[in-house]
Amino acid sequence: MTTQYGFFIDSSRCTGCKTCE
């Protein structure tokens, strides 16, 4: 799990206030 732009990116699932592309 990595943090990017205040988001948590876990594999193909993203959790945060923005959509992952």
20 HSE (CA, 13 A, CB side): 15
Q: pLDDT tens digits, residue range 1-21?
A: 555 555 565 656 666 555 555
Nearest to 12 by CA among 21, 3, 4: 21
Mention every residue, 6+ apart, whose C-beta is less than 8 A from residue 9: 1, 2, 3, 20
Q: What is the pLDDT of residue 17?
A: 58
- The enclosing H or E element of 9 equals strand 7-10
3-state secondary structure of 3: strand
pTM of the predicted structure, to 2 decimals: 0.12
